[in-house]
Amino acid sequence: MASLYAYFRISKPSPERVPSSEEAGRYQSLRRRTFWGVTLAYCLFYVCRMTLGVVKQPLIDGGLFTAGQLGIISSALLIVYAVGKFMNGFLADYCNIRRFMAAGLLVSVAVNLSLGLLGLVQGWPSVLLFGLCTLLWGLNGWAQSMGAPPAVISLSRWFPLKERGTWYSILCASPYLGKAVSLTVTGIIVAAIGWQYGFLFSALAGLGGVALILFFVSDTPESRGLPSVQVLCNEPPREADAIPTRLLHKKVLRHYGVWVIALSSAFVYITQYGLSNWGVLFLQKGKDFSLQDAAWIIGLSEGFGIAGTVLAGWLSDKVFRGNRVMPVILSGGLCLAALALFLFTGGGYVLNVLYVSVFSIAIGVLYCIVAGLMALDIVPRKATGAALGIVGISSYLAAGLQDVVSGFLIQNAGFDFTGVAVFWLVSCAVATLLPVLNWKSMQRKVVEF
């Protein structure tokens, strides 16, 4: 246990110091490598997470699982992820982010590889197969929870506060890129040669992510012979910087604003994961699209989520000059309208791509601001992981509950999606209203730090 702690703990400052004349150039180079290494690797975390959403129809058609059983399997990842993100959010504040993140992705690779190989062996008893898949997908949830905390903490360790909003919005695009890759490329592979190979492709993509982390990511500026980011960027010290991390964690746990954001984010995730995890099946059963076309529609739309998250930073920092509320109002209204059109109107391929693309742009803005920037605004740098852990457990417990509720609503209605559509739309409305109505009081609570 002691050796495990020593391996994962935050890096000590390097005894070899970078000459002062080279500090600026080295800092820019290392932070750029770390940022893009973390961002691309986190994209590949999502490739290893989204496989099940693509292969649901082949599993149902093959008689392996019902929609309700698939909802339980999907929820295993999300519920374990929720608990893991809470615990790993607190742990990651103390950890070497490079080693911590790489270890999580490696376990996720092993799970996808195991499920692919498991599917190639025929004749499994249905109960045993259901149990194994649930257990393995739940393990994947824990591994996945080791991705987001170190990714966001890397911003706190390498970027000053005045730049964090813009860079965070770019980082938030990585899940959408990962979903787009998974839904399009995996969809083609599954349609061509079988669902088992979708898991094998995800495992291979995840290995690429592990390599990116190990070769590009650095833990802290100090571990590479540089001063802290505050010194490098002439950032004035905050009073909270002198408070021990453990005490800051206690303050975060008692902070009213963090819990409001956590609840708001929970409803964002119900809406977002409803479409991501069930959108392909909805298009197949509700609108008679083929697996490949359905996967491409949802996958292409996920790509527009990238534009949404980047747009969130620009809207918030440049257009509204730090005002987080106006982008939430605009994106929430647009999100509701686009989702309603997608769920309750017909249309062909192009029109459905348009609906879900607008939805993805809008939910991308909502996700980036509500589930990220608002939380980062009201907590100190050293408590970033703790705040995201609280937001994470709320968000992913809700997303896991969504999968179970959605699965049984769809199954019990005989693949009539009206009930589940109302569920997703109401969640979207609540996700918009909660932060808007509470933002002023949350900002006032910042002084408690």
Rounded Cα gap, residues 323 and 314, in angstroms: 11
Q: What percent of the chain has pLDDT over 70?
A: 93
Rounded Cα gap, residues 44 and 185, in angstroms: 13
pLDDT of amino acid 447: 42
Show Cβ contacts of residue 155 under 8 Å, excluding neighbours closer than 6 positions.
35, 164, 167, 168, 171, 384
Q: How far is CA 385 from the centre of its chain?
A: 14
For 352-394, what is each residue's pLDDT tens digit? 999 999 998 999 888 888 877 777 777 776 677 777 778 878 8
Name which of 57-61, 239-243, 439-443 the model is least confident about.
239-243
Tokens linked to 242? 């002198």
Per-domain residue ranges of the chain: 30-219+243-448
For 311-337, what is each residue's pLDDT tens digit? 877 777 777 776 778 888 899 999 999
pLDDT of amino acid 158: 86
In this predicted structure, the answer to whether residue 272 has a pLDDT above a threshold of 70 is yes
Please give the backbone phi and psi of residue 62, each rounded to the nearest 5 degrees, phi first.
-80, 0
Q: What is 30-219+243-448's CATH topology?
A: Growth Hormone; Chain: A; (1.20.1250)
pLDDT of amino acid 1: 58
For 95-112, what is each residue's pLDDT tens digit? 899 999 999 999 999 999
Q: What percent of the chain has pLDDT over 90?
A: 27
Rounded Cα gap, residues 83 and 408, in angstroms: 23
Of residues 164 and 48, which shows the higher confidence score?
48
For the chain, the average pLDDT equals 84
H/E run at residue 343: helix 325-344
Tokens linked to 298? 């949802």
